[in-house]
Structure 1
Amino acid sequence: MNIQNKINTILLCDIVKHLGIESEIDTDLVKHAITSGNLWMLNAEYSLLDEEESPKQARDFIIEVLNMYRGLSSALRKLPQSTQNNLVERYELRIEGGAIQIPGFDGNNEATYFSIVEAFLKMNKFVEQKEPINDTHSETVEQYAEMLQVYKKYDAFHRSFKLEVEEIASVLALAPKSA
């Protein structure tokens, strides 16, 4: 950040504070980061703002994961209530509105995936998923990829999501855990 950008940013912070404008940005933190030479604070606090456009591969992966959870939810609803309850308890599923909620992503190391899910929700896509998306505090992408590999074997879509209990369980057993 060059000196002119630093001055402009400090002045904007002063204007926001003086006018009493509510902002999600902590203007005192921004000013401190600039004046103390600790710009890294801004990256630490507002890391999602530093992201470039999400890669298409990551967006496609999230679409597959969310569609898988949509399909698993549909398959689960087709089972008797006692069997549903057993699976929910065994795999510690969070159910909202009859839909299995994704466990989430690691907020530190998987921020791109995290933000893609939030973007879909802001666009009212995959409305069965509810905010907030959980921070798992551990990486999850490999586990979702393993789930997808098993789920795709069952060809749930072409079977109208009529999966056997063992098939559903074999996918859910691979799911990441929410923190």
Structure 2
Amino acid sequence: MTNLTLVLGDLTDQRADALVNPANSGLVGGSPGSVDGTIHARAGRALTKACRELRETRYSHGLATGQSAATTAGRLQALWVIHTVGPHWDRYDDRSSLLASCYRTSLEVAAELGARTVALPAISTGIHQWPLDHAARIAVRTVRETLAAWETAEKPERRAAAGTIEEVRFVLFNRRTYTAFQTATAARER
């Protein structure tokens, strides 16, 4: 069974097999201070080169919103960075399925890589302006549903995928975000 944990801290300081990067579709690194920008700055040239290779070979038109792809982690304390493109919040267009897809496809890529620990941020809650409580509920529900589906899957390879990931760690950068995820986590446990 996979442990779901919450940590208050900086995603780039985490020791994990895979760190999930809320990337832009061009995989070019975000602005300084953003999670994407910080990951690129701390990972160094190896990550920049790996992202360039992805753009040149598989994602010449960009990585689609809700999809995920992996690269090396460069100087980070991880083996891989899994890049996923989060949707922008739109009060008139429900894009919840795209946000859920970010978490689901990130876990799928992590399982394919054989990752045992996966560190996730609160995707789309920064510059994309997704309401924090809603984003936390989607994130926690999607991770739990994905792992549960794998554990009960009929196909042995799906059950094996669930068995490789031992910990999914939400790394939350401030107390407000941590509290929102704590509430979302506790709601289902009751």
**Which category describes the TM-score, using the shorter chain as reference length?**
under 0.3
TM-score by length of 1: 0.24
- TM-score, L = length of structure 2: 0.23
Choose between structure 1 and 2 for higher RCO, CA contacts under 8 A separated by at least 6 residues: 2
Comparing both structures, which one devotes a greater share of its residues to strand? 2
